[in-house]
Structure 1
Amino acid sequence: MTTPSTGSGQAYAEVIGDPIVQSKSPAIHGFWLGKLGIDADYRACHVSSDGLAEYFRRRKDDLAWRGCNVTMPHKQAVQEHLYSIDQVASAIGAVNTIYPAFDRLLAGTNTDAAGFLEPLREELYQHHLFRMARILGTGGAARAIVAALAEEGFTLVLAGRDPAKARALLDELAPHGEHHAIDLAHFADPTDFPFDDREGCLDLVVNASPLGMRGQPALAFDWSHAPPGAIAYDIVTDPVDTAFLKAARTAGHRTLDGLNMLIGQAALAFERFFGQAPPREHDTELRELLTR
């Protein structure tokens, strides 16, 4: 881990994780800093689980450090190193954005939930007779998605390799409502389930797991399990157009890729770090940059 010297040099923020080379966050924040003409930097920093305490000890005293984003596998482990976490992060049980607050005390929040919901806002503003989401995965990102969708009135079907873990996660994050935990393998084989009339309903199928990511096993999901009109949403960003999304389009479903959530959550963190809202009018150009 490379640590800048303590001082008041060029302001910077960063993303930490293990591994970290795959992160697109430096490209996103760097793009916005350039568009706004802000003299600051955003970088990636590899930090292992054993190195978290030392990382925060050094950064806390670096006056140029504006904070960091947190990616796998640290979103829960970082909490013990913080002075405070806000209500959103507390409810989700995970932190993805850390910043020095009063007297350089470290505070944490979570922008994943709001970032995930951003491309769904038009649908969420509408009235629905019923809302259901099939969420695939039980890791750190799934925590934010479960909490966000439960708050928006969805009935949830949470699928994981360990259904008991999925049940425990639902009981913790969405204790109200008739939610269901199921084995992820259930969705791998075709079904002839006769879906009822979905008029006036909002259905989502969300890949909240790393399955389908470059270097990871494929996600086995048969689209006969999705109601007509369901929206397919994959949070994987490498590749952006995953096999999961391609199969969904072939089956006639609208798709949302992982750049939606990634850019949405980054925008909230950017404003926290650098004191200005990012220039979202350039999102098309940013997406082109991220998919080269």
Structure 2
Amino acid sequence: MNDDQPPSQIRHAPLAGVIGMPIAHSRSPRLHGHWLARYNLPGHYVPLPVQPEHLAEVLRILPRAGFVGVNVTIPHKEAVLTLADTVTDRAALIGAANTLIFRPDGKIHADNTDGYGFIANLRQAAPDWQPDTAPAAVIGAGGAARAVVASLLETGVRELRIANRTRLRAEQIKAEFGARVVVYEWAQVGNMLEGAATVVNATSLGMEGKQPLRVPLDALLPGALVTDLVYTPLMTPFLVEAQARGCRVVDGLGMLLHQAAPGFERWFGHRPEVDDETRRIVLG
């Protein structure tokens, strides 16, 4: 680019990033940087550590600084809904947003692609998966679980069982998502798995540095699809035991990769492919 060009003739490369606190651990910059390089696209994707008290101010400034959008992670995924100008139905239903698009007129559009990423990961790893043939069981009732519940019900699951250490959060999900949701006591998680064709750990239990997920898996159906949203480690003890019991297992990394694709396409104009190379790059 010629530095002597008039400002009106200089086209700035689009900027995007991920907002959270803390954010240094995020794999999103590595993922989006890989896609930008792979498709030879102009643009940059950066980590943005933002304290909750500064969130509103930062979101007002970013579009003026050349940003076309951001991903949003903990602890801001709920707060951004109140700051956005438009919110998709699925983000409103889930009660959180993970993808913001800054429009040319300065307005902020909020979306949630976690559920899309969850289902896309399962369909890529298990193309013959049929979620509507038997109940699904979801362990946990936090923000990630809400996205999982919404997406599973959308695929046609007729009965969705859910248990959470704090029962009230599971009851809130049932109240919002309807009669197909059946709440189990935390002490009955093992029973909840009986006859389930799809089983999901949507808690952080089992993650490196966290408490283990202590759930009896005796009732798991051989051949059931078992997945864990945790991806550090990739093969959690939960998945290792499920696999030993004859289940098909899917790690949580693919959800991270697939949920990122819609935002990347909106910001940089190209739909990226999630493949083995992408997994290797993100794992580093």
**TM-score when normalising by structure 1:** 0.86
1:285–1:182 CA distance, 2 compared to 1 (3 A): same
1:215–1:8 CA distance, 2 compared to 1 (3 A): farther
Deviates more, 1:28-37 or 1:66-75: 66-75
Percent of residue pairs identical: 37
CA distance in 2, matches of 1:163, 1:284: 39
Which residue of 1 is the match for residue 283 of structure 2? 291
CA contact (8 A) 1:146 1:170 kept: no
Which residue of 2 is the match for residue 257 of structure 1? 251
**TM-score when normalising by structure 2:** 0.88
Which residue of 2 is the match for residue 16 of structure 1? 19
What is the number of residues matched between the two proteins?
Answer: 271
> Is 2:160 the counterpart of 1:156?
yes
> Is 2:211 the counterpart of 1:217?
yes
- Aligned match of 1:229 in 199, 223, 244? 223
CA distance in 1, matches of 2:209, 2:136: 27
1:167–1:25 CA distance, 2 compared to 1 (3 A): same
Which residue of 2 is the match for residue 147 of structure 1? 150
1:135–1:277 CA distance, 2 compared to 1 (3 A): same
CA distance in 2, matches of 1:165, 1:279: 35
> Is 2:175 the counterpart of 1:171?
yes
CA distance in 1, matches of 2:84, 2:136: 33
Where does 1:181-196 land on structure 2 (aligned, <5 Å)? 181-187=183-189
Which ranges in structure 2 are unaligned for 5 or more consecutive residues?
Answer: 1-9
Task: State the Cα distance separating 1:139 from its structure 2 match.
Answer: 1.2
> Is 2:31 the counterpart of 1:37?
no
CA distance in 2, matches of 1:44, 1:240: 23
Task: State the Cα distance separating 1:29 from its structure 2 match.
Answer: 0.7
Task: State the Cα distance separating 1:55 from its structure 2 match.
Answer: 1.4
Task: State the Cα distance separating 1:160 from its structure 2 match.
Answer: 0.8
Q: SS at 2:221's partner residue?
A: coil
CA distance in 2, matches of 1:13, 1:194: 41
Which residue of 2 is the match for residue 53 of structure 1? 56
Which residue of 2 is the match for residue 3 of structure 1? none
> Is 2:123 the counterpart of 1:131?
no
